[in-house]
A and B are shown apart, each in its own frame.
Chain A
């Protein structure tokens, strides 16, 4: 197992300098995520205006994978519509799915362009016990989007 495929620089950067930690400007939808096995925690607030996520606030505690995934997700979803986010979530989860062949989660035409930094998390798939960590923010996001209805 190649550890340097897991602990990419971008991941460590997001882990140490998580983005979008500031509280929302206006009350939005909230969801908490937590992984009882390892204690990773995520608290997510989003503001949805006309079907578009206009603001994201995300804070948490946990391992580099869960926290960097949360930070990168917060950047990736800002300004996106629900439909775009659903697509993004689908791609991310496919990227994390051990059963997906090759890079099926990634955009075949312009690799790297859809998930952006998030693609750095590809390596997690080789470490099955850590997939849950990477997915935590995304599962929490689905809950928050449900709240925002």
Chain B
């Protein structure tokens, strides 16, 4: 068992009380809390190093540029990218996926082409593809899930053919916790099509060591705020030859080489994709978050997640009327547990837990297609990060027992 409880003191918000209870934060899949090194790095930058990047010939701007580019290098190393130039800073996963759909998607799709998604995608990996499908006449195809809540590989095999130009899949489901076997998926996609494989890494990258050299993907998107970093910044990684070929999806300052009245040429990758003043302090905060995660070690984080998830599944299994949604094989899932409790609506569960200082998510989790597939309108979800422990799970279970008793559900 990996004990990370000493890390709690790095998260000032966990010292806060809600309604006389200490904060028990079980909604990291929505957004994670921030450790002091991240807060300090951003604060230091604003107080003593702040200036715009890539512009000024003066000292402060030069320093800010170095910090910003250092952040790019750190993120590149974190996912083992071939070069920092493969790291594009975006506003987040959503912006990265929208950029891909409106640029790569729009330029490579024609009527009759297909975009393949799974039934467990976040709306951020659904709606951008609907938009480009509408503009191009391409068609969306959803790969169903197995009864074990994973992508059905046989169905995938029979779906992938030469009509498929884009396959975009979650690296880890924000509802079920499922971590699909991406290398196997990639082999199928490569063997049966020329499609690009995009991985929505919003949940995966904050919890599991990702090496883009072996992941099997062409593009990977993720958000800093779920990995203990700030809001307002995320990353699009892409294979260099694809980034080279791809047109920018936004125009403006910083991304040009020359600008004439009627035409312009683009700066080299990655600046080509970073129009306007970038989120500089956020990049520095992201670098600090990556450093923090690396110091703990992604393997330690993974085993901590597995330990907590296994414990949570075991304890939830003891609660009468509780139904869990997610793989039973612990190895193929991350630190997310979704459940319903008899006829106690997930919102009522969340309110009851909130009165004990416990934050969980209730609702459709921005995954309405999946909810429909599961035959529910909402679930309650608890999700973990480094600052959670078994005591948080115990508090959750106690709260669920109170919910059962308030709603008069009978024992056993």
Contacts and interface: CB of A to CB of B under 8 A. Distances in A.
Contacts, number: 45
Contacts of B277: none
Chain B, interface size: which category?
10 to 19
Interface in A1-17: 1, 3-4, 6-7, 12, 16
A1 B377 contact: no
Contacts of B343: 16
A7 B378 contact: no
Contacts of A130: 347, 351
Interface of A: 1, 3-4, 6-7, 12, 16, 37-41, 61-65, 127, 129-130, 133
B351 A12 contact: no
Given A3-B351, A38-B363, A62-B377, 13 more contacts: A1-B19, A3-B352, A12-B408, A38-B347, A38-B362, A39-B363, A41-B377, A61-B377, A63-B346, A63-B347, A64-B345, A65-B348, A130-B351
A62 B351 contact: no
A127 B364 CA distance: 21
Contacts of A65: 347-348
Contacts of A64: 344-345, 348, 407
18 contacts: A1-B355, A3-B355, A3-B406, A6-B351, A7-B407, A16-B343, A37-B363, A39-B364, A39-B377, A39-B378, A40-B347, A41-B377, A62-B345, A127-B351, A129-B351, A130-B347, A130-B351, A133-B347
A12 B377 contact: no
B355 A38 contact: no
A6 B19 CA distance: 16
A123 B345 CA distance: 18
Given A39-B364, A39-B377, A61-B377, A7 B347 contact: no
B348 A4 contact: no
